[in-house]
Amino acid sequence: MMRGHRLRSRLLAGGAGIGLMLAMIAGTAPLSSSDSGAATNHVVVLPCAGSPLLASKEPSKELPLGPHALRGYTRVYCQDFPGTALPKGWDTFEGQPKGDPFSMFERWHVRIRGGILRINTYRDPLLKYKWVTGGVCQCGLARSYGAYFIRARITAPGASAIALLWPKNNSWPPEIDFLETWQVPNSSTSTLHFPIAGNPGDHKIQRRIKANLIGWRTWGVTWTPRTIKFTVGTYTYWTVTDPTEIPKLLMTLDLQQQSWCGVFIGGCPVHASSFLIDWVAEFVPNWDHPHPYATDPTPSSATRPTIPSLVG
């Protein structure tokens, strides 16, 4: 295990379409392919920003999950990354990751082009050819519980691509990593970090799954008060069932790369790589009352403090 620290600074960032489900999510069944109207139980369906009408027009050749793709849930957020600007509610990381002294997060390593959010890692000539990475957080929306799905791939092994849920108040742990590629192209780890009352520090459980990370995959996590399910495509490969290990606070979605130069032997990438995200879809259950599936649209503070995090 290697201890890392993430230093994150918020930078202000600044189409409706139809989302269809082409394949079932494991353990669920599609209810509707319509992307309009409102769900029952007071949950409002939002359109998928920038989504085309045809799967063939998507970079990954698969449309975002439809608003009722997950039985018992309704899609409340969908982003297909049109244009060239980071969507409202998303912010970039900037600064040196403490504990990873030979690498850096910079905002210009995050780009949107061709309907893809691109997080790029390379030796940056503007920073004395250090390995520089990028990262974003959906800091404008924190949620307690829900289901998160990203359609993503890496272009090459090297820097670790990570998709995770992070506490809005930065009270780490907990942390839910549902994609972490490390330096390999053919497997990913998922990790749950959690605190234990009376036993300070980080505690974790982890699973590894084999997958072709160069190809497009839909990675997901469904987080409830009683379970956390980790999925890739239509396959649920791990379920956490101990409620004492499951986070109960507001968390945000973060997407990033990290090189880990100087942290351990072989940590540095061999060559440049990118973490590509075609779309993001998020769901909440169809309950009459939002609590405890609460949302908090209040943006985080202007600067996130340095926070310890065990990675992997």
What is the tens place of the pLDDT at every residue in 150-204?
999 999 988 999 999 999 998 999 999 999 998 889 999 999 999 998 898 899 9
296 pLDDT above the threshold of 80? no
pLDDT score of 305: 35
Average pLDDT value over all residues in the chain: 81
Q: How far apart are CA 111 and CA 107, in angstroms?
A: 9
Q: What DSSP state is assigned to residue 2?
A: E
Outline where DSSP puts E strands in 211-266: 217-223, 228-232, 235-240, 251-258
Sort 111 into a burial class: Cβ within 10 Å, 0-12 / 13-18 / 19+.
middle
8 pLDDT above the threshold of 70? no
Identify which has the larger pLDDT, 6 or 235.
235
| Exposure b/e, 129-148, CB count within 10 A at least 16 = b | ebbbbbbbbbbbbbbbbbbb
What the block records as the tokens of 69 is 């793709």
Residue 12: pLDDT band with limits 50, 70, 90 = very low
State the average pLDDT over residues 132-152.
96
**pTM tops 0.85, yes or no:** no
Residue 30: pLDDT band with limits 50, 70, 90 = very low
In percent, how much of the chain has pLDDT > 70? 78
Identify which has the larger pLDDT, 255 or 31.
255
CATH architecture group of domain 2-9+88-311:
Sandwich (2.60)
Sort 85 into a burial class: Cβ within 10 Å, 0-12 / 13-18 / 19+.
exposed
pLDDT score of 293: 58
State the average pLDDT over residues 260-285.
89
Q: How far apart are CA 182 and CA 285, in angstroms?
A: 32
Q: How far apart are CA 252 and CA 102, in angstroms?
A: 27
Domain residues of the chain, as ranges?
Answer: 2-9+88-311
Write out pLDDT tens, residues 31-84: 233 333 333 345 667 789 999 999 999 999 999 999 999 999 999 999 999 999
In percent, how much of the chain has pLDDT > 90? 63
